[in-house]
Amino acid sequence: MMTRQWRNGLRVVLGMILATAVMSPAPASAQVVQVGRGDARHTINFNLGYFALRGEDSRDEDDVLLANVFDLASQDNPFDPLDIGEFNGFTFGGEYTFAITNYLEVGAGIGFYQKDVDTLYRDFEDSDGTQIEQELKLRIVPMTATIRFLPLGREAAVEPYIGAGIGIFNWRYSEVGEFVDFSDDSIFLNRYTADGNAVGPVILAGLRAPIGDAWTIGGEFRWQSATGDGLLDEGFLAEKIDLGGWTTNFTFGVRF
């Protein structure tokens, strides 16, 4: 009797074990499809870099920053404390890229740059002997669409690439402070602002190194060219603002 009950209980236990084994999920390695570097076609890239505006020798002749270099000190003196290089500064952004093939990628990105520069009239002072100072501020938000060519493909140990595209550059420029009216040498307070969108080409080149199947790090160089206009209507010294320059980026990417 006890033997029959023991056997029946054993059958029940074995049946439960068998049912659990049949109903339990397969091992993770069997369920998850392993994806290699070449199969991950989407990438989210983050970048941190340094933006340098074009120098005085290559800027648009009607650029407002170039006009300030010659006119803030005096109309007769081309030397001024303002240096175009003072507008160079840090930039950051993000970009989504999609691999069309192993050698071609398309991307869409956005960035942000802003720099404040304090200036003064070197050859003029207020009646109380204080400096006549202004704050100049430039902001650029580039939105770009690009295509990249990877000569070694996306599965190489190191992945160099070159590319080109087009950008829409949202910009804002302002000058706030004291100014001199050279017609009578009077000093007045004012704020000048202008903003808009400019379209221009983008050229890039970079190098990235995969870390495992999901991460990348690298460096990138970008050149952009665009010009905003309409500044004379807002009271500035010139009609345009040259937005061209070079960006050197450190990049970090996540592939999926």
Express each pLDDT in 90-112 by its tens digit.
999 999 999 999 999 999 999 99
Tell me how far CA of residue 247 lies from CA of 16, 166, 227, in angstroms: 66, 15, 17
Q: How many domains does the chain have?
A: 1
d(CA 93, CA 79): 35
**Mean pLDDT, range 251-256, rounded to an integer:** 96
Judge whether residue 183 has pLDDT over 60. yes
Could you tell me which residue, 23 or 67, shows the higher pLDDT?
67
pLDDT band at residue 227, thresholds of 50, 70 and 90?
very high
Query: Is residue 2 in a domain?
Result: no
Query: Is residue 239 in a domain?
Result: yes
Query: Is residue 98 in a domain?
Result: yes
129: left (phi over 0), alpha (psi -120 to 50) or beta: left
d(CA 147, CA 140): 22
Tokens standing for 246?
A: 């070079």
| 143 burial level (CB within 10 Å; 0-12, 13-18, 19+) | middle
Query: Is residue 67 in a domain?
Result: yes
Judge whether residue 203 has pLDDT over 80. yes
Could you tell me which residue, 133 or 252, shows the higher pLDDT?
252
Judge whether residue 80 has pLDDT over 50. yes
Judge whether residue 34 has pLDDT over 60. no
Query: Is residue 15 in a domain?
Result: no
Question: Looking at residue 24, what is its pLDDT?
Answer: 41
Could you tell me which residue, 103 or 121, shows the higher pLDDT?
103
Domain ranges, residue 193: 42-255
What CATH number is attached to the domain comprising 156?
Answer: 2.40.160.20
**Mean pLDDT, range 79-91, rounded to an integer:** 82
d(CA 62, CA 170): 19
Query: Is residue 20 in a domain?
Result: no
The residue to which tokens 């009797």 are assigned: 1
At 123-154, the pLDDT tens digits run 778 878 788 888 999 999 999 999 999 999 99
Query: Is residue 244 in a domain?
Result: yes
Query: Is residue 12 in a domain?
Result: no
Direct distance between the N- and C-terminal alpha carbons of the chain, in angstroms, rounded to an integer: 63
Q: Read off φ and ψ for residue 159, nearest 5 degrees.
A: -115, 90
The residue to which tokens 């199969």 are assigned: 39
Selection from 251, 256, 229, 226 nearest residue 240 by Cα: 229
